[in-house]
Structure 1
Amino acid sequence: MDGFKKRLNASIQRKLSFSLLLAILGVALVAGIFSFVSAFDEAHELQDDTLRQIAALFDRQHLPLAHLGDDGRTQGSDEESRVIVQYLAGGGKAAGQGDAGAPLPLPLTLADGLHTLKVGSEPFRVLVKTTASGERIAVAQETGVRDEIARDSALRTLMPFLILVPVLLLIVADLVRKMFLPISALSAEIDQRSEQALYPVETADLPAEVRPFAVAINRLLARVGQSMEAQRRFVADAAHELRSPLTAMSLQAERLAEADMSGMARERLAALRRGIGRGRKLLDQLLTLAKVQAAPDLPTSAVSVQGIYRRVLEDLMPLAEAKRIDIGVEGAQDALVLVSELDLMAVVRNLVDNAIRYTPAGGRVDLSLTLEAGGALLQIKDSGPGIPAGERVRVFDPFYRTLGSDQVGSGLGLSIVKAIADRTGAEVRLADAAQAAPSGLSVSVFIPKAKLRVG
């Protein structure tokens, strides 16, 4: 019972539905009892009127009672629903309490009007009337029969309640569910948004009671958007400010390399230049990440995937040749995707750069393109160590690097890929490139709404 109360209090819809159902059932029960009692009493009134009409008919028509038979009822009539008519007093025709021929042994002293008497072991409803000729007649009916008829009549009045109340309960439950549909739709719409989708919630179709809550959500989204924009501006400004001194340090290191120095000093200078290079690359990655997290630029034209592949391979081929890595594109199929050229270039470049860096010398990196489900599937496979299944969610976090990796990097490459994918509606999946170890890594990027390029 406590669990039911907790579930009831946790949901306004359940609480409202339950309260309405209880109210309807309570009103229906009271109305049903009132209707039953009223119909029961009215049926008794009608039966009393029937006794009066029978008595009036005998009085007006002066009908003899002999044709009713010795037991006071018509031959072949229903035993249970019979109405008994007999003389109560009237000279030689008197049929009273000591008359063996009388159907019912009724007291002769009964006053005119309606009486409820117990005759023998059966209760009777008796109407006593004095006719115009001075004779007294009694019209009687068993109360058990009367009650059964009245009960059947009253139960028939309850049939509409028994049919309509369940229908009303279903209608009310359905109406309450439909009334809360805008709230469910609003919840689903907000839940399906990406972290970058901070545009306001539409409030025109919401109920007046929910609209203030939606307006408050819109204000919160605006504040979050302003805070994120301030963070992006800070990262971009900091990267720009740091780029100038790093460039100056790089130039000074190049000039210093031209001077005469000892072997140990030259080794330390080489380490310094490598550190400066890593810092410049980190700044470039930070600027790229800040840019892709900003408001998206709508693409004006479709981009060729094979064209992007060629440009990326031209830029990164020296890095692959330095490690003797066999890199290339499988197949000649091309597709046009409605994505910003800079975004697609950043995605492919970061994935290929990671594949080359983490693939051992003499390894292999393959790029491929297939069309499926109305979209383009870009795949970059390598023969490197791969990524453990438990870390495939974490690797998309900024600055996260796989444990045990001896490669130098910023940890922002996959974060940039994920940010661009979320912003453009693409999907990034990580899997093993092969079944046997070492399995390598296969990165798939599915871009919807692509079309085959012929020629």
Structure 2
Amino acid sequence: MKARSLEAGLRWRLVAVLTLLWVAGTLGAGVALWHETGEVLDSALAETAQRLLVLPLQDDEAATPRVAEVGEHEERVIYQVFDARGRLRLRSHEAPEEPLGQDLADGLHRLGPWRVAVITRDDGRRRAVVAEALEHRVESVTESLLALMWPLAVLLPAAVVLVGVVIRRGLAGVRQTGEALDRRAAHELDPLPLAPVPVEMQPFVRSVNALLARVGQLLQAEQAFAAQAGHELRTPLAAARAQAQRLLAHTGDEGLQERVRSLLRQIDRLTRTSERLLDLARLRGGAALRRSALDLAELARLVVSDFGGEGAAVSVRVVAPPPVLQADADLLALALRNLVENALRHGRTPVVVEVAPGRLTVLDAGAGVSPEEWERLARPFERGATPAGGTGLGLALVAQVARAHGAELRAAQAPGGGFAVTLEWPRPR
């Protein structure tokens, strides 16, 4: 599943909540506005009807109804005035000639699309009918609601930015803690500080600290066991080898000599395993690197010279003069020696150590392994399906040396055929 951003999720959820609250508040205001506007306009209709009742009009039966003409304009309110006999005496220019609300009692009424106010004088001589189109009220309230919604459209982008800034600052402590954890080396298992982290996230950080403590205890136990086992094995193995060599020197039996040589090979294998265990324990224990200026080409030549018995099987090729590198020469030599031994043992000759700026590559003519198999072999005590011997610690040691130096260990098929294992340092920025 794709990882989701907590910051983005909170930002859009808060903006959505603010938008919903604004819309809900606007709708609530619209309901209140409709009610209050209705009361005000109903009162205005009644007041208009009362004023019409006191206008001077002719009561002559022969008089024609008067029409209020004030020029063309949009008339939102129309009115009619009737005499005691129900005859129309006065009307607005858009009011119909037929009576509005003829059978309606005095008061406020809804008549089709109209809101109608009907008032009759106490003496019964005159009756006024004033009507307003309900469409006008709906239009007024709608325009008011739209006026309330416009700020939301303007402020919403600003709200997105401001909410994002507030959340980003609130989560700054969490981000700093994560970045500090990413920058840590593999052996740095000190607890994370709680101070910069919000209170809600502190239980999570405490759990991480507890996990780091447990991992540290397990690593310490593993390192102590490996170091102790290596130290304890070194002396008896040296003594056993000395006794086997003495036995080989003082016996003339060919069969017994062959058995002693086999014993010596097994003792040497155990010795290499104990030495590798000690090296791994030192690296995993976070031992400080003894860094110094190092020429990779000189290091490669020095390591290859240890394989002089191989003749032309191992050689050095300098692609370009490498810059001076700050590194632990002993550990890098140990890693390179392991890679060359693996190439000789599991690959095919010739083996070439290629030196380039920030890169050491060991190439052999073998078929190599798949990426999945390579990932497995880089773990301690993992061996490939080959008849050649080995401890299963060589690549694990090389990977540990690479991590300690900030380099990357990778393997791939060589462009010209064969298999290539590379130690590469990142380019300086």
TM-based fold match above 0.5: yes
1:433 is aligned to 414
2:334 corresponds to 1:343: no
Which stretch shifts more, 26-35 or 42-51? 26-35
Q: CA deviation at 1:36?
A: 2.1
Matches within 5 A, 1:310-321: 310-318=301-309, 320-321=310-311
2:425 corresponds to 1:443: no
Which of these residues, 108, 124, 127, is aligned with residue 115 of structure 1? 108
- CA distance in 2: counterparts of 1:440 and 1:106, whole angstroms: 103
Contact 1:83 1:141 (8 Å CA) reproduced = yes
2:79 is aligned to 84
Which of these residues, 369, 374, 377, is aligned with residue 387 of structure 1? 369
Deviation sequence 1:267-320 (CA, Å, 0-9, x none)? 1111111111111111111111111212141554332212211221222323x2
Aligned-residue sequence identity (percent) comes to: 27
Deviation sequence 1:202-250 (CA, Å, 0-9, x none)? 4332110111220221122022112201211111111111110110011
1:159 is aligned to 146
1:400 is aligned to 382
The amino acid across from 1:97 in the alignment is G
Which runs of no fewer than 5 residues in structure 1 stay unpaired? 1-6
- Name the TM-score, length of structure 2 as normaliser: 0.79
Contact 2:23 2:149 (8 Å CA) reproduced = no
Which runs of no fewer than 5 residues in structure 2 stay unpaired? 92-96
Matches within 5 A, 1:121-136: 123=114, 125-128=116-119, 136=126
Q: CA deviation at 1:400?
A: 1.8
Contact 1:65 1:72 (8 Å CA) reproduced = no
Matches within 5 A, 1:30-429: 31-51=25-45, 54=48, 70=65, 72-78=67-73, 81-86=76-81, 88-89=82-83, 96-98=85-87, 103=97, 105=99, 114-116=107-109, 118=111, 123=114, 125-128=116-119, 136=126, 138=128, 140-142=130-132, 145=133, 147-159=134-146, 162-163=149-150, 171=160, 174=164, 178=168, 195-318=186-309, 320-321=310-311, 324-331=312-319, 333-360=321-348, 363-371=349-357, 376-403=358-385, 405-429=386-410
Aligned to 1:367, the other structure's residue is in SS state: strand
Change (3 A) 1:298 1:139: farther
Change (3 A) 1:40 1:254: same
Which stretch shifts more, 296-305 or 274-283? 296-305
- CA distance in 2: counterparts of 1:192 and 1:21, whole angstroms: 34
- CA distance in 2: counterparts of 1:117 and 1:354, whole angstroms: 98
The amino acid across from 1:349 in the alignment is R
Aligned to 2:307, the other structure's residue is in SS state: helix
Which stretch shifts more, 17-26 or 49-58? 17-26
Change (3 A) 1:106 1:223: closer
- CA distance in 2: counterparts of 1:274 and 1:108, whole angstroms: 124
Q: CA deviation at 1:46?
A: 3.1
Aligned to 2:359, the other structure's residue is in SS state: strand
Aligned to 2:68, the other structure's residue is in SS state: coil
- Name the TM-score, length of structure 1 as normaliser: 0.75
Q: CA deviation at 1:442?
A: 0.4
Contact 2:30 2:145 (8 Å CA) reproduced = yes
Q: CA deviation at 1:187?
A: 6.1
Change (3 A) 1:431 1:195: same
- CA distance in 1: counterparts of 2:280 and 2:425, whole angstroms: 20
Q: CA deviation at 1:423?
A: 2.9
Contact 2:42 2:108 (8 Å CA) reproduced = no
The amino acid across from 1:353 in the alignment is E
Contact 1:39 1:154 (8 Å CA) reproduced = yes
Aligned to 2:219, the other structure's residue is in SS state: helix
Aligned to 2:324, the other structure's residue is in SS state: strand
Contact 1:382 1:440 (8 Å CA) reproduced = yes
- CA distance in 2: counterparts of 1:262 and 1:379, whole angstroms: 46
Contact 1:433 1:441 (8 Å CA) reproduced = yes
The amino acid across from 2:205 in the alignment is A
Change (3 A) 1:19 1:326: closer
Contact 2:120 2:127 (8 Å CA) reproduced = yes
Change (3 A) 1:115 1:236: closer
Deviation sequence 1:337-382 (CA, Å, 0-9, x none)? 232223222221211222233344xx312122223xxxx1211111
- CA distance in 2: counterparts of 1:101 and 1:431, whole angstroms: 102
Contact 2:80 2:90 (8 Å CA) reproduced = no
- CA distance in 2: counterparts of 1:104 and 1:49, whole angstroms: 25
The amino acid across from 2:355 in the alignment is L
Q: CA deviation at 1:440?
A: 2.6
Q: CA deviation at 1:155?
A: 1.4
Deviation sequence 1:36-71 (CA, Å, 0-9, x none)? 2322233233333434554576688x66699xx946
Aligned to 1:276, the other structure's residue is in SS state: helix
Which stretch shifts more, 330-339 or 304-313? 330-339
